[in-house]
Amino acid sequence: MVSIRMAKISCVAVIAFYVALTAFGNITDYWVNFVYVSHVLGMDEVPPSVPIHWRAVTSPVLHHAAYVLIIAVEITVAALCTAGAVAMARRVHAAAPRFHAAKGMAIAGLTLGFLLFEGGFIAIGGEWFGMWQAHDFDAVQSAFRILITMLGVLIFVSLKDEDVV
């Protein structure tokens, strides 16, 4: 059905739009959002009684490197998802195998986005740097909402399609 294909294209496009806005905000509000990264990596908001402070990264150079890496991955996710949505839109009326083949970039973008939020924000930021224990700088729940959305779209897009009648 064309409507299911359009739903898949729309979901990928909205993810691309969201991540592009996120990257844009991180670039245009660099110093505001950089402070957040610095607090998480520096672990200065994690209670002093927690014995994991040895994990803290206090080098501003490494804070900038981590933040630039996050932004670069966001840009890549947005680009891949945009390219994937366009490729799928171009084949919306194609035979099922051709439409399915057009999903590659979208699947790569959604997977990379999932890895950024699950691996980067939840595993590294949340668990390794104890972000979940920082009262003012805990983004674990926000990251979880985003990664679940990406995962849902990834599963939906990955499903096989029937031929358009």
pLDDT bucket at 90, cuts 50 / 70 / 90: very high
8 A C-beta contact, residue 85 and residue 165: no
Q: What is the pLDDT of residues 15-52, one digit of tens each?
A: 999 999 999 999 999 999 999 999 999 999 999 999 99
pTM (two decimals): 0.94
**What is the distance between the alpha carbons of residues 23 and 78, in angstroms, rounded to a whole number?**
8
91 versus 136: the higher-pLDDT residue is: 91
Enumerate residues 6+ apart whose C-beta is below 8 A from 107.
84, 154, 157, 158
pLDDT bucket at 137, cuts 50 / 70 / 90: confident
